[in-house]
Amino acid sequence: MNLHQLLKERLAAGRPVKVALIGAGKFGSMFLSQVPTTAGLEVAVIADLDPERARNACRQVGWDEGRIERTEFVTSGAEACGHPEVEVVIESTGSPAAGIAHAKAAIAAGKHIVMVNVEADVLAGPLLAEEARSKGVVYSMAYGDQPALTSEMVDWARSCGFQVVAAGKGTKYLPLFHTVTPDDVWGHYGLTDEEARQGGMNAQMFNSFLDGTKSAIEMAAIANACELDVPSDGLLFPPCGVDDLPHILRPKSVGGVLEREGMVEVVSSLERDGRPVFRDLRWGVYVVLKAPNDYAKACFKQYGLKTDDSGVYAAMYKPYHLIGLELGISVLSAALRHEPTGQTRSFRGDVASVAKRQLKAGEMLDGEGGYTVWGKLVSADQSLKMGILPIGLAHKVKLRNDVPAGQAVTWSDIEIPNDSEAVRVRQAMEQRFQPSR
């Protein structure tokens, strides 16, 4: 709780924290909007495939021309990672392959790396985090995004001596969303195609939020960072408002929906018939905790904490997340404290590529949020045992075999690219890390 004071001291010493941003999209732009009002934080270089677009993004979020002129704009993420003035690299491209390459480049250059790119983290985070630790630099989740905020709540609960029963986030979910494609996504958001186009919204990206893929990716990241288990047959997405968290997200043995204590789960803001859930948690995160003794249980009641009917299970939640507007917390924590705001520590969860429809040999997979596959949360044990193709590698790869609708695509079902660094890193990660048992 003293990051601001530490930053003031760095500024007074004439050593502002200097950052490289790779990817000036929505998340990156939100971060850029906060830089002018965060004294002591500077962006030395911005890497984007379209530097002029990046300059315009800076203008749109309120940068003056002087600040833009003092900032270097490049097309190469690797060049940004090697910039001599940079302390912290922010990877915000959303591409798993690019994210892995940039993380490795930043670590090799001795820079701290903040991974907005949760897709890359889930694909190879255990290996990347271990590599960063061996080099003495920080590899961190991005504060403001739900995995980091959830990890913070889990850490809070455990540091207070509570057992974590469940942790996760809220989202808008119905079972039919798993087969939605970019062609029909906007109707589920209440938008017309033209409204989405005018808003500059990417149909495939927004579809990944809807079809369950993004939720699976984020829960895998939380499971791997917090050493929590994943459901045996994918996320349940139970409809649940904030008042019902301790009732629903407790084990089946005591009336809840969980297989056991210590799991990740996503709650839906919609009832199964489409009605809105009362006091939903669509934009927020939560942790369900368990009183370790009768005294703590009594304190829950005395201080008005919402519990289940036994009084043993309780929940804490944060109703909103502000993504890039909060990203400075990760940057400053890495630079000033040498601490991550959440970090992959194990390999417990993975995200399988599941066919949205009958797929035929010779078809090209189009990845997260596309027409061919959606991402389903699975255990690392199951992923390795079945040879499942992770969703982060299901882009622009050709099928060798037919895959029935609803079935996971495996490594043996595709023509494996032999020139892909992401494939090599993932395969090395699978060999290095065995799932928790």
As a whole number, mean pLDDT of residues 44-55 equals 96
Q: What phi and psi values does residue 131 have, to the nearest 5 degrees?
A: -65, -40
Q: CA-to-CA distance for 34 and 24, rounded, in angstroms?
A: 14
Tell me the whole-structure pTM to 2 decimals: 0.95
Would you state the pLDDT for residue 197?
A: 83
Continuous H helices in 267-335: 294-302, 328-332
Residue 156 CA to chain centroid, in angstroms? 19
At residue 158, the pLDDT reads 98
What DSSP state is assigned to residue 143? B
Segment 36-47 shows an average pLDDT of 97
- Neighbouring residues of 381: CB distance < 8 A, sequence distance ≥ 6: 435, 436, 437
Q: Give the mean pLDDT of the chain.
A: 95
Average pLDDT of the segment spanning 19-34: 95
171 phi, psi to nearest 5 deg: -160, 170
Strand partners, 47: 22, 74
Question: CATH number of 3-144+324-337: 3.40.50.300, 3.40.50.2300, 3.40.50.170, 3.40.50.720?
Answer: 3.40.50.720
Beta-carbon contacts of residue 10 (< 8 Å; ≥ 6 apart): 16, 17, 40, 336
Q: What number is the average pLDDT over the span 318-347?
A: 96
**Residues 61-104 pLDDT 10s:** 999 999 999 999 999 999 999 999 999 999 999 899 999 999 99
CA 55/CA 110 separation, integer angstroms: 27
How would you classify residue 64: left for phi > 0, otherwise alpha for psi between -120 and 50, otherwise beta?
Answer: beta
Q: In this model, does residue 325 exceed pLDDT 80?
A: yes
Q: What is the pLDDT of residue 434?
A: 67
Encode pLDDT of 169-201 as tens digits. Answer: 999 999 999 999 999 999 999 999 898 888 778
Element (H, E) at 374: strand 373-379
Structure confidence at residue 411 (pLDDT): 96
pLDDT attached to residue 202: 87
Residue spans of the domains in the chain: they are: 3-144+324-337, 147-173+212-321, 349-432
161: its two tokens: 């001596």
The answer to whether 140 and 117 are in contact (CB under 8 A) is no
Residue 437: per-residue pLDDT = 46
SS (H, E, C) 85-139: CCCEEEECCCCHHHHHHHHHHHHHCCCEEEECCHHHHHHHHHHHHHHHHHHCCCE
What is the per-residue pLDDT across 248-269, written as a single tens digit (0 to 9) for each?
Answer: 999 999 999 999 999 999 999 9
241 Cβ contact list (under 8 Å, min separation 6) = 277, 278, 279, 280, 281
Amino acid at 34: Q
How far is 155 from 161, CA to CA, in rounded Å?
10
Please tell me the predicted confidence (pLDDT) of residue 362.
97
User: What is the H or E stretch that residue 265 is in?
Assistant: strand 263-268
Using one digit for the tens of pLDDT, what is the confidence trace for 400-437?
999 999 999 999 999 998 889 999 999 999 988 765 54
The CATH code of the domain at 349-432 is: 3.90.1210.10
Identify the pLDDT of residue 419.
86
- How far is Cα 328 from Cα 102, in angstroms, rounded to an integer? 19
Mean pLDDT of 7-27: 96
Q: What mean pLDDT do residues 53-65 have? A: 95
Q: Quote the pLDDT of residue 201.
A: 81
Which pLDDT belongs to residue 435? Answer: 54
Task: Give the pLDDT mean for 370-393.
Answer: 96
For residue 309, pLDDT over 50 is answered with yes
What is the DSSP-derived secondary structure letter of residue 337? I
Structure tokens at 29: 């732009």
